[in-house]
Amino acid sequence: MLNPVSANGESTRAPLLQAIGITKAYGTFLANNAIDLDLYPGEIHALLGENGAGKSTLVKTMYGLIQPTAGELRWMGEKIELTGPSDARSRGIAMVFQHFSLFDNLTVAENVALGLDGSETFAAMSARLAKVSSDYGLPLDPNREVWRLSVGERQRIEIVRALMQNPKLLILDEPTAVLTPQEADQLFTVLFRLKSEGRALLYISHKLDEVKRLCDTATILRGGKKVETCDPRQETAASMARMMVGAEIGEVKAAAGRTTTIPRLLINDLSMEPDDPHGVYLKGVTVEVKGGEILGIAGVAGNGQDELFSALSGERLSPHSDNVIVDGHAAGHLTVTQRRRLGAAFVPEERLGHGTAPRMKLSENALLTGHAASDMVHRGFVDRVATLATVDKTTTTFDVRKAKRDPEAASLSGGNLQKFIVGREILREPGVLIVSQPTWGVDAGAAAVIRQALLDLSSRGTAVLVISQDLDELAEIADRIAVMFHGHLSEPIAAADATREKLGLLMGGASVGDAAGQQEASHATGS
């Protein structure tokens, strides 16, 4: 058992960590502008804000990854200057990052050892790892290779590695982004226990209903400044989103009278071996998407979604040409460019490197995906006016905020780059759109813009397939939802019938019938 942090008497109201006037300047740009923040033992404190609001800069300062330009940190009342993450960890500050830092070919214990100070033998550390993971209800086999684990189990490694440092303050960045609802509930139980032990938790999330459920206090950043501190339990998700954005978030809703037409995308018995030794084998995937319909594909990351996207986009060719049919044309053996010429468009999960070339200008990135089916190229020559016009139209239509007319892709914040990538494809008016994680890690305002655009596109007759781990997102925009598990795709169910519990069971491997039966049984017993 970890040693609990003392949390009685007046000490509970003395801040554990204070950020006082934290400012971080990059040239003339202020990523953080005189931010004050107090974190108390026995409290879960949410840090909220749009993409680019300054959250990452602030927590990196608290973890010693960057040095502030001005201001100071106080740890238990004493001014400190963190020289790096190891200094932060030695004081009792631990952080679980949104993106895992694990080596697939190493075991759980070997990965954990890389994050510790090496003061104990490997055997002793492995035994302690097994005990801590068991005590906190996060079971892990120290000897298992990481590549064999689910995404939820990999998340456990990151959390247990942090707990093994016996932290007084634990910083968590989007910890439920890759979890099923059942796994998220299990994590919340752990977090409430850590709170009861007197630890301070700083919780970063775009899921505002989650913040209301978990957090005692919320600090909201906008444009690098602190704009509000509130009790999230007394707020609504809409009111917190309004504080984050500084304006009302438009309601996402489908157009009235939206109808579906014939199937425009068909996937027929698609089975494919992965090209990655740690990838997922697609097994008989079969589904159709009609014009005017949004089909959502849910599932925990790593269950074949990446492999499916590659097969549909043409990055990998299918075994048979009729495994993928786009508007009546067998496309399984066609390249990405050839599929675009059939009227298909694609938005991959990874914004930088896959969705865009980071060091190329937006106009050049527009050309990379638009040359096959647009007026950007005439007789082999690039029409610079047309590429810039695409950038301008996307910027205006999707509220893409940038410092100049045609900057490099890497200079945009995550949310603004995502709006550009999605907007670039939607403005082509494709007959079929396949999009993976459309609002991954973007703020409420950007998410609303993107989701409404997908609904509007489908209302114009496009068949839209959305791969997403965000069940709230799929509930908001999808007509039907299917679930991927270990390379299998479940039968789609109507979104109105797709409860979080039922989808969570499907994401854990239950069949559609089993999931419905288990849900009915749990309701009958009142569990």
Q: Reduced to 3 states, what is the DSSP secondary structure of residue 99? A: coil
Residue 122 has pLDDT above 90, yes or no: yes
Query: Tens digits of per-residue pLDDT, 427-451?
Result: 999 999 999 999 876 777 888 889 9
46 compared with 378, residue with greater pLDDT: 46
User: Do 441 and 429 form a contact (C-beta atoms < 8 A)?
Assistant: no
Q: What is the mean pLDDT of the chain?
A: 89
Q: pLDDT at residue 525 above 80? A: no
Check residue 356 and give its pLDDT. Answer: 94
- The per-residue pLDDT for 263 is 95
pLDDT tens digits, one per residue of 131-145: 999 989 888 999 999
- Tokens describing residue 509: 């491997």
Check residue 16 and give its pLDDT. Answer: 96
> 């303050």: which residue's tokens?
169
Average pLDDT over residues 84-95: 93
pLDDT at 512: 56
Residue 15 main-chain phi, psi, to 5 deg: -60, 140
377 has pLDDT over 60: yes
For domain 1-82+168-249, the CATH superfamily is P-loop containing nucleotide triphosphate hydrolases (3.40.50.300)
pLDDT-derived band at 190 (thresholds 50, 70, 90) equals very high
233-256 mean pLDDT: 85
- Of 296-305, 322-331, 421-430, the range with the lowest mean pLDDT is 296-305
Enumerate the β-bridge partners of residue 226: 221
Question: pLDDT band for position 315 (50/70/90)?
Answer: very high
Residues 6+ apart with CB under 8 A from 282: 270, 271, 272, 304, 307, 308, 311, 487
237-242: long-range contacts (C-beta < 8 A, 24 or more apart)?
237/208, 237/209, 237/212, 240/48, 240/208, 240/211, 241/208, 241/444, 241/445
Q: What is the pLDDT of residues 158-174, one digit of tens each?
A: 999 999 999 999 999 88
The fold adopted by the segment(s) 252-343+431-527 is Rossmann fold (3.40.50)
Q: Provide the pLDDT for residue 379.
A: 83
In this prediction, residue 518 carries a pLDDT of 57
Structure tokens at 446: 């950007």
Domain with CATH 3.40.50.300 in the chain: 1-82+168-249, 252-343+431-527
pLDDT at 83 over 70: yes
pLDDT at 443: 75
| pLDDT, position 7 | 46
- The stretches of 246-383 forming alpha helices (DSSP H) are 305-313, 336-341, 362-370
Examine the pLDDT at 125 and tell me if it is beyond 50: yes
180-184, 198-202, 403-407, range with greatest mean pLDDT:
198-202
Give me the mean pLDDT over the 301-320 stretch.
Answer: 94
Rounded Cα–Cα distance for residues 268 and 282 (Å) = 12
Q: Is the pLDDT of residue 98 over 90?
A: no
Write the single-letter amino acid at 489: L
Which whole number is the average pLDDT over 309-325? 97
The whole-number average pLDDT for the span 228-242 is: 92
Predicted local distance difference test score (pLDDT) of residue 1:
40
Task: Identify the weakest region by mean pLDDT among 227-236, 299-308, 356-365.
Answer: 299-308
pLDDT-based confidence at 29, cuts 50/70/90?
confident
pLDDT, mean of residues 386-408: 92
Residue 522 pLDDT exceeds 80: no
Could you report the per-residue pLDDT of 455-508, keeping only the tens digit for each?
A: 999 999 999 999 998 888 999 999 999 999 999 999 999 999 999 889 989 988
> Residue 113's pLDDT band (boundaries 50, 70, 90)?
very high
Q: What is the pLDDT of residue 513?
A: 53
| pLDDT band with cut points at 50, 70 and 90 for residue 50 | confident
